[in-house]
Amino acid sequence: MNRIDQLFEKKKKRVLSIYFTAGFPNLEDTIPVMKAIENAGADIIEVGIPYSDPIADGPTIQDSNMIALNHGMSLKKLFGQLQDMRQTISLPVVLMGYLNPIIQYGMMAFCKKCKEIGIDGLILPDLPMQQYLDEYKGIFEQYGLRNIFLISPQTSEKRVIEIDQNTDGFIYMVSSHSITGAKTTISDEQISYFKRIEALQLKNPRLIGFGISDAETFNIASKYSNGAIIGSAFIKIIKESKDLETDIKAYIRSVIQ
Amino acid sequence: MIKVDEKGFYGKFGGAYIPEMLYPNIEELKENYEQLMASEEFQKEFRSLLKDYVGRPTPLYFATRLSEKYGAKIYLKREDLCHTGAHKVNNTVGQIILAKKLGKKRIIAETGAGQHGVATATVCALMGMECTVFMGALDIQRQRPNVERMKILGAKVVPATSGSQTLKDATNEAMRQWINNPVDTHYIIGSVVGPHPYPEMVARFQSVISEEIKWQLKEKEKTENPDIVIACVGGGSNAAGAFYHYYNIPQVRLVAAEAAGLGVSSGKSAATTALGTPGILHGSKTLLMQTEDGQVVEPHSISAGLDYPGIGPVHAHLFDTGRAEFVAVEDEDAMKAGIELSRLEGIIPAIETAHALHSLQMIEYKKEDIIVINLSGRGDKDLDTYIKWGGY
Ligand SMILES: Cc1ncc(COP(=O)(O)O)c(C=O)c1O
């Protein structure tokens, strides 16, 4: 059984997914950061594939992408680093990346490799749903990969339901009109959007991401969904860290308390 | 047939590869632009602004001395005489009317040479709309006069400091800004790039160029069809406009001049068809300059408007099918061609346009051939670059 499905079967509330960019802060930190995230008690690890033009990301994640690329990170290199990850990592692992590096690698070869090393799901923000259905759904399913779509406050109810039907794993609820890392507090308007989606009783679990940074925002997000995704705030922590293991543990503990 | 299909593809290229956050905006445009553009009300306003505000039709000028020098009948389509100095305004006039009809309050745009930024700031002033233009930090330095023009017109100019700090990065920033303000903002893209329906929509606004060439040439030469149409290609909007009504007339040769920078194999180039492979950039599948790992390569051209690692999907298709000939013109040759036109015809062209002029030395033609060169813009904005180059 897919690890994402297993997770949500056991745990319905306060699921914490942590995003970081592969090869950041240093090229060989990918696996150590993943281990630290697991040891600290998070539930899902989201590994970002660095890209030169991440249009849905704010300055913090852009910067981490640039740094990782300057270190020489690439998709091939990443697969090399992750080759034996299942010897040490037991959490669900999701790869997040923009489409271009993946289609250069080849979608079929990419998905095959993901299965081989034990990846559970994919978040590809610039892969539109129709394109996924027309071209890639069969491949994803063949290799047991969950496809995680985004929705935003602007997504119509009809489309949310359509996305729910074509998603498995979980739905990534973008918390506001924004790129990553934009806001630090949660407004009433956002809460009414969370409630609106909650009322739709979707078949998929929902995690709220973008702008979640601490215990307070995590608690609010968790109240209206199955949990949350933290990216930029985590990147900031590891960027400045002199002791990844300790700082990651302290940060994640402070969020889930 | 060169024609966009329902999903926004020209053959293998095009589509709308955008984050879900922008899906409603793109859908809104897609559902409305054709109907709006076809409406009598829209056409009336658009045509009247093109005539009285932009100054259309622009002349189709027979360039006597240039023709003598090159041994062909060479006409210049004088887009440099458009208000604001380049073809870019044809598109911004169209899109601002569209934005108004869609009830948008704010406009954002990207710009390379600053021509599109100026053209956007201009129509925003005209319509009383708030305007923010994203421009690469490097381009802000090399196109200073246009930055000041935008500010005089009341626009806010925001430097893009990521990546190569040029057009690609300005486009990234504009897209991010649109994600952050999806409801009340319209993004006026400046070329035939971006997610569907932008490439086709921009091409249709620019198609007034070839629409005019047809009747103007008929008056002068008794034929609507030249033998060759030449245009420079950054993203490809002036070329798409000049080619549009000739796409499906095979006897008209289409020549697209790209920027080779310091040379196609110098590592400092923007010659997309020579160096690019299929990939996804700014929401469409097209040819783009990239590494084996799919990272976008930073381009180089002396001309800010051609300094872009991709081309519009329609041009990728024109290249792929062999419908258009592509030439790659180096910085130095473009500069010389710019000086040559200045001396022969008393017209100082934009450096982008100068690339199209140099391609006269790269293609074959016969003495009796009628050649139309799309003179996409004037060189005022490039004086600093001409002065620095100094070879005159
Ligand atoms: C005068 C002029 N020509 C050409 C271009 C290139 O754009 P496009 O290829 O979209 O026509 C620009 C862009 O700024 C320009 O200012």
Structural domains in chain B? 17-50+88-202 (3.40.50.1100), 55-85+207-389 (3.40.50.1100)
Interface mutation vs chain A, best among B6, B9, B22, B23, most A CBs within 10 Å = B23
Measured from the Cβ of residue B164, the count of other Cβ atoms closer than 10 Å reads 20
Pairwise CA distance, residues B205 & B240, whole Å: 10
Pairwise CA distance, residues B60 & B214, whole Å: 10
Catalytic residue among A38, A43, A46, A164: A46
Determine the 3-state secondary structure of B70 from DSSP: helix
- A191, amino acid identity: I
Please state the CATH superfamily assignment of the domain spanning residues A13-256 in this structure.
Aldolase class I (3.20.20.70)
Helices B115-127 and B144-152 pack at an angle, to 10 degrees, of 10
Query: How far from chain centre, in Å, is Cα B231?
Result: 10
**B295 in contact with chain A, both atoms CB, cutoff 8 A:** yes
Distance from CA of B177 to the nearest CA of A (A): 8
Helices A244-256 and A30-40 pack at an angle, to 10 degrees, of 40
Q: Is the CB of B112 under 6 A from ligand 1?
A: yes
Given this model, what pLDDT does residue A183 score? 64
Helices (H), chain A: 3-10, 30-40, 59-70, 75-82, 99-105, 107-117, 129-131, 137-142, 157-166, 188-198, 215-224, 232-240, 244-256
Nearest to B176 among A76, A102, A179 (CB): A179
Residue A242 clears pLDDT 90, i.e. is over it: yes
Given this model, what pLDDT does residue A182 score? 63
A105 and B21: CB-CB below 8 Å?
Answer: no
Measured from the Cβ of residue B367, the count of other Cβ atoms closer than 10 Å reads 9
pLDDT in tens, A170-229: 999 999 887 887 666 888 999 999 999 999 999 999 999 998 999 999 999 999 999 999
Phi, psi at B132, each rounded to 5°? -125, 130
Name residue, tokens 């790269």. B362
Of A94, A86, A79, nearest to A17 by C-alpha is A94
Residues of A with CB under 8 A from a CB of B: 51-53, 55-58, 62, 66, 69, 74-76, 98-105, 125-131, 149-152, 154-156, 159, 163, 174, 177-179, 182
Q: How many residues are listed for chain A in this entry?
A: 257
List CB contacts (< 8 A) between B24 and chain A. Answer: 154-156
Half-sphere exposure of B125 (CA within 13 A, CB side): 17
Residue B9 CA to ligand 1 centre (angstroms): 23
pLDDT in tens, A35-80: 999 999 999 999 999 999 999 999 999 999 999 999 999 999 999 9
**B158 in contact with chain A, both atoms CB, cutoff 8 A:** no
Determine the 3-state secondary structure of B279 from DSSP: strand
Residue nearest to atom 7 of ligand 1 (CA): B234
Q: Count H helices and E strands in chain B, helices first.
A: 16, 14
- What lies within 8 Å, CB to CB, of B323 at 6+ separation is B2, B247, B250, B254, B317
Residue of A nearest to B183 (CA): A154
List CB contacts (< 8 A) between A147 and chain B. Answer: none
The residues facing A117 across adjacent strands are none
Q: Is the CB of B305 under 6 A from ligand 1?
A: yes
Given this model, what pLDDT does residue B167 score? 92
Which tokens go with B381?
């904005």
Domain boundaries, chain A: 13-256
Beta strands in B191-292 (DSSP E): 228-232, 253-261, 277-281, 284-288
Given this model, what pLDDT does residue A180 score? 80
Mean pLDDT per 10-residue interval, chain B, length 392 residues = 93 96 94 94 98 98 98 98 98 98 96 95 98 95 91 98 88 95 95 98 98 98 98 98 98 98 97 98 97 95 94 98 98 98 98 98 98 97 93 86
Band of residue A239 on the pLDDT scale cut at 50, 70, 90: very high
Pairwise CA distance, residues B163 & B99, whole Å: 30
Phi, psi at B286, each rounded to 5°? -155, -175
Phi, psi at A89, each rounded to 5°? -110, 125
Q: What percent of chain A has pLDDT over 70?
A: 99
Given this model, what pLDDT does residue B113 score? 86
Determine the 3-state secondary structure of A102 from DSSP: helix
Q: Is the CB of B301 under 6 A from ligand 1?
A: no
B21 and A131: CB-CB below 8 Å?
Answer: no
Nearest to B19 among A76, A130, A150 (CB): A150
